[in-house]
């Protein structure tokens, strides 16, 4: 665990410490932060975010806000919070969002009381996974073992390898490891490593290969999941739809 991650974990732990001795296992899992893309001269189509990074609430901010609500006092430590989900069409004059806050045995939906029509949203297994990176994926893969390993093959409808890889990352809700998040230009296949921690502290890893299928015009996803629980491995496998 790096020093910055340890510092963030201690800060979040201090908001709602657990009983007993302070150990690494007692610390909350700190998710990897994905930096927003900024426009460059070579890529004018990328948009500069309209808000500064300082305006984005940190996990500590969200946890502190929830912990200050008396009705949530018995829910225990906050495991993770999702990004705000827009529940209104992009062209509407008003914007309504919903944030999913996951605790060990509860989910809190933070939104607004509105009478206008809203978009539907889902709660899936990927909402229960914190994007926690591992420094050495190969060692972590061997260490976790194959006692709860599942393998599967899926046909994907995406035409672009970049689009397909991004969709797999998004559907699983896990953290890419070893610079595998983006395939090489003009590549016909790509290997993607993902890691995360399921609610309850259950570690999970995914080793996948995504390749273009010239016959169907789509692509094939070959995926292996290893975790510390058979049920978690199955839920992660079921995230691919």
Q: In this predicted model, what pLDDT tens digit does every residue of 174-186 receive, in sequence order? A: 999 999 999 998 8
* pLDDT for 76: 84
Mean pLDDT of the chain: 81
| Sign of the torsion formed by the C-alpha atoms of 153, 155, 160 and 163 | negative
Cα within 13 Å of Cα(97), Cβ side: 7
* pLDDT for 162: 94
234: burial class by Cβ within 10 Å (0-12, 13-18, 19+)?
middle
Q: What is the mean pLDDT of residues 134-154?
A: 95
* pLDDT for 175: 94
Residue 163: band (very low, low, confident or very high) from pLDDT cuts 50, 70, 90: very high
* pLDDT for 51: 39
Q: In this predicted model, what pLDDT tens digit does every residue of 214-236 receive, in sequence order? A: 877 789 999 999 999 999 999 99
Tokens standing for 125?
């297994």
Q: How far is CA 176 from the centre of its chain?
A: 10
CA 110 – CA 107 distance, rounded (Å): 10
Residue 200: CB partners within 8 Å, gap ≥ 6? 104
* pLDDT for 174: 95
Map out the domains of the chain as residue ranges.
Answer: 3-123, 137-237
CA 205 – CA 41 distance, rounded (Å): 37
Q: In this predicted model, what pLDDT tens digit does every residue of 2-52 receive, in sequence order? A: 666 666 667 666 666 666 666 666 666 666 655 434 333 333 333 434 333
Query: In the beta sheet, which residues pair with residue 227?
Result: 204
CATH for 137-237 is 3.30.310.10
Query: In the beta sheet, which residues pair with residue 151?
Result: 224
pLDDT above 90 for 135? no
* pLDDT for 23: 63
Q: What is the pTM of this model?
A: 0.77
Query: In the beta sheet, which residues pair with residue 193?
Result: 177, 207
Tell me the percentage of the chain whose pLDDT exceeds 70: 74
């Amino acid at each position: 665990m790096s020093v910055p991650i340890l510092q963030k974990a201690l800060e979040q732990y201090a908001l709602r410490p657990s009983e007993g001795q302070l150990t690494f296992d007692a610390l909350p899992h700190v998710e990897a932060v994905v930096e927003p893309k900024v426009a460059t001269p070579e890529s004018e189509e990328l948009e500069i975010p309209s808000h500064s990074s300082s305006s984005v609430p940190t996990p500590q901010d969200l946890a502190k806000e929830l912990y200050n609500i008396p009705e949530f006092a018995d829910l225990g430590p906050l495991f993770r919070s999702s990004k705000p989900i827009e529940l209104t069409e992009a062209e509407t004059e008003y914007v309504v969002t919903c944030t999913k806050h996951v605790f060990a045995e509860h989910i809190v939906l933070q939104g607004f009381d509105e009478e206008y029509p809203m978009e539907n949203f889902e709660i899936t297994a990927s909402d229960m996974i914190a994007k926690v990176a591992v420094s050495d994926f190969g060692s972590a893969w061997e260490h976790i073992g194959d006692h709860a390993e599942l393998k599967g093959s899926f046909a994907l409808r995406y035409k672009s390898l970049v689009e397909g890889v991004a969709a797999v990352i998004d559907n699983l809700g896990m953290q890419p490891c070893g610079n595998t998040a983006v395939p090489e230009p003009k590549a016909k296949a790509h290997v993607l490593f993902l890691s995360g921690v399921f609610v309850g502290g259950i570690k999970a890893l995914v080793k996948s290969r995504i390749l273009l299928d010239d016959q169907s015009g789509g692509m094939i996803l070959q995926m292996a999941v290893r975790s510390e629980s058979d049920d978690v491995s199955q839920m992660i496998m079921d995230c691919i739809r």
